[in-house]
Structure 1
Amino acid sequence: MPVQSPAADAQRPIGTFITDHVQPAWDQLNQFSRLVRHNDTMDYGLRRHRMPVHQFPGSYAAFLYNGNIVGGRYQRMTTLVSDQAAEACASKTLTQSYAAAAGLPVAGGQPYTDADQAHQRVANSGLWVVKPDGARRARGVSLKVTGADFADAWQRAVRAKPRDARFSQDIVVEPFHDGLLVRFFVVGGTCYAAAVRVPLFVMGDGSSTVADLVRASFAHREQHALLNSTLPSVGTVLARLPEPLTSETVLDTGELRLLREDGRLTAGGLPFDVTEMVSAELRTLAEGAAQSIPGLGAVGIDLITPQLDSAAGAVVLDADPWASALVHRFPAFGRRRRVIWELTEVLSLRAQYWEKPIPPPTSPASEEAG
């Protein structure tokens, strides 16, 4: 990981967001004493729509309406997602290909099977992302890769490739886009929530060590059920500090340092609700990404953008039909969004019209002939 100056972190888009929005709201961290899982909330919503859920052994469930099976779920992915959409979303590069075909800006990932060919692209210049094409939950992802550390990043991605042959076995090399990672929850082609994934950071006070700052940050999160249940250990964080930080480093007052690049909950990230902050253009870009894949009725769309008030420079990164609603239902900061209600509403509408025939459209000419 290349050495960064303190000013570099503060001046990056995520650093500006932390300084302007996260740090001022730190003492107003949301308090959620109880956590309700994604599928449990979905099951409750379906029952409210008179749609009982039959859970099979394992990860499969069937949705019933008037005694008939009208849909179902595998893990968190429902039958609002077509086979074609599921296949497209199983490959990050295929997802971006659909978005690019619709005229949308994409992150520019390219698949490789040969390490030497991939290294030639990375060795030119700049910072890169190396990741498995078919993996989820940031498994095997390396950010800000250079030619010098490419070999380690490649091997990490190879080790994390899905063992299931149905998933892509390629390794993706993609330009690193320095911006805000925003997750949009899109149902039926409409965006209902957006959250910035804020990576783990500390802000110096002039006397506390980095270890003290991490412990204080984690202790503050204990009042939030989702954050508390997903926190990494302090030891894990301190063992992987970016150079030149150590656990005993004392940061100046107001000095911002990012300890991680990705904003996953299990890496110490914080979901910050920005549903009312994102521009209409960004919302349209997320909806367009979902609509670019046929049959993608419910999905988490990831965009990277330099700012929230414009789509200039924003790119489509990924589409996740297995997306959890928890980051929207239990954000660290901002208003909670009940996006599962929208999901169950669409499932209910589909159930009501499950087997009803749709008459062919009647043209004006045929009406006159009749």
Structure 2
Amino acid sequence: MPALTTVPDAQRPTGKFITEYVLPRWEQLNSFRSLLRHSRMMALMLRRRRVHVHQVQGIIAAYLFNGETVGGQYGRLTTLVSDQAFEACHSKSLARRYFAAAGLPVPEGRSFSADQKGAAADLISGTGPWVMKPDAARHSRGVSFGVTESTFEAAWAGAVEANPRSAAQVMIEQFQDAISLRFYVVGSMVQAVAARVPLFVVGDGTSSLRQLLAASFEARQVNPLLRITLPEISQGLLGSSGRSLDEVPGPHELVLLSEDGNLRLGGIPVDVTEAVHPALNDLAVSAAHAIPGLGAAGVDLLTPDVGSTEDAVVLDADAWSNTRMHRYPALGRPRRAGAIAAAEQILLRAKYWDKPVLPPESQDPDDD
């Protein structure tokens, strides 16, 4: 069993989700004729609304409406995100403070600077299991699950090294055995929700994990998003599972090989927009609103059950969020609403940003 829990994988929240939502439809993985990049999709949606995307340099672009600059983008980051929100989304600990200040549920844990290694080690020696992550790194770099006293040194070194800023902190939090959900929030509305299912296989009693992974990855080739993000099959891919590639799982045994649903670590996105409890949508919107100026972002929640808010926590916010996992999910309905809603928000700002809220004749001249 993984060090994180003694509960069999099939009985864990993610295992139950896989059994109910994924395995019955595995033979019908979504296929798509083409794959558009997020920035390309945004450009198309803006063009349909008469907003011209002018490429300035590299990944920098300006938005023009009626000949005037009304916004722009840097990669996937647009002017729907304020400087304050950009700073918050660049620091997991800062975003967590915004969430907590708004009274939202967050995982228990602490942040440590690079010179507080001893204090961090003392925390690890207490009740766990623990997850260690760099404060400012992205794409799951430097994240370790199931950290113990014996693995602390390697996990700490990995988290510190992955931080893009030398002064950035390291977060240590208690592991939440839950389903990872990504909500794409624009303004005050959730546009799409995807469950980020980590790497898994189902045993047949004769095939090794290596063979099962090879068969799983072959099946994923029909989906262009899964195809371009397939990782190399190696022992390192199994992370903290404690498994070996040569191990042979029993017949019908569900094996979770990772805790991270990142596509480049073998995870798959499953659309659950219509399945999540409405209160989870409200929680995601509240998380986005907790960070001033966060007009469009991916919000990550952990919940033991997509149909309930019990024990759900807000994990993170990503201003660079990519809508492709919603547009090209492995299973479930493809969603274009994220890019459409973001383009609509940019158009609304272009039309009304500098306009008075009240017509001039209704304003009191003494207000000045």
Shorter-chain TM range is over 0.9
Q: 1:71 to 1:197 in 2, by over 3 A?
A: same
Q: 1:362 to 1:200 in 2, by over 3 A?
A: farther
> Partner letter of residue 37 of structure 2?
R
Q: 1:346 to 1:151 in 2, by over 3 A?
A: same
Q: State whether structure 2 residue 147 is matched by structure 1 residue 145.
A: yes
Offset of residue 2 of structure 1? 4.6
Q: Distance in 2 between matches of 1:361 and 1:134?
A: 46
Q: Distance in 2 between matches of 1:363 and 1:284?
A: 35
Matching residue within 282, 285, 288 for 1:284: 282
How do 1:152-301 and structure 2 match up within 5 A? 152-163=154-165, 169-235=168-234, 242-243=241-242, 245-301=243-299
Q: 1:50 to 1:362 in 2, by over 3 A?
A: closer
Gaps of 5+ in 2: none
Q: Distance in 2 between matches of 1:92 and 1:189?
A: 22
Offset of residue 4 of structure 1? 7.4
Give the equivalent residue in structure 2 for 1:344.
343
Gaps of 5+ in 1: none
> Partner letter of residue 198 of structure 1?
V
Task: Say whether the 8 Å CA contact 1:12–1:178 is kept in structure 2.
Answer: yes
Offset of residue 203 of structure 1? 0.2
Q: Distance in 2 between matches of 1:10 and 1:108?
A: 26
Q: Distance in 1 between matches of 2:255 and 2:104?
A: 33
SS at match of 2:57: coil
Q: Distance in 2 between matches of 1:322 and 1:232?
A: 22
> Partner letter of residue 233 of structure 2?
V
TM-score, structure 1 normalization: 0.93
Give the equivalent residue in structure 2 for 1:318.
316
Q: Distance in 1 between matches of 2:84 and 2:108?
A: 22
Offset of residue 132 of structure 1? 1.0
Give the equivalent residue in structure 2 for 1:333.
331
TM-score, structure 2 normalization: 0.93
Task: Say whether the 8 Å CA contact 2:235–2:244 is kept in structure 1.
Answer: no
Task: Say whether the 8 Å CA contact 1:203–1:255 is kept in structure 2.
Answer: yes
Q: Distance in 1 between matches of 2:87 and 2:315?
A: 16
Offset of residue 49 of structure 1? 0.5
Offset of residue 105 of structure 1? 0.4
Give the equivalent residue in structure 2 for 1:93.
93
Q: Distance in 2 between matches of 1:363 and 1:69?
A: 29
Q: State whether structure 2 residue 107 is matched by structure 1 residue 104.
A: no
Offset of residue 7 of structure 1? 5.5
> Partner letter of residue 150 of structure 2?
A
Q: Distance in 2 between matches of 1:360 and 1:238?
A: 61
1:162-183 Cα offsets, whole Å, 9 max, x none, are 14x7xx6111111111100100
Offset of residue 236 of structure 1? 5.7
State the identity as a percent. Answer: 49
1:196-252 Cα offsets, whole Å, 9 max, x none, are 100010101122221111010000001100000000012366675832x32232221
Q: Distance in 1 between matches of 2:275 and 2:357?
A: 40
1:147-175 Cα offsets, whole Å, 9 max, x none, are 22111111000110114x7xx61111111
Cα RMSD after superposing both structures: 2.2
SS at match of 1:56: strand
Give the equivalent residue in structure 2 for 1:67.
67
Offset of residue 108 of structure 1? 3.0
Task: Say whether the 8 Å CA contact 1:238–1:246 is kept in structure 2.
Answer: no
SS at match of 2:24: helix
What is the total number of aligned residue pairs between the two structures?
Answer: 362
Task: Say whether the 8 Å CA contact 1:179–1:304 is kept in structure 2.
Answer: yes
Q: State whether structure 2 residue 24 is matched by structure 1 residue 24.
A: yes
Task: Say whether the 8 Å CA contact 2:4–2:145 is kept in structure 1.
Answer: no
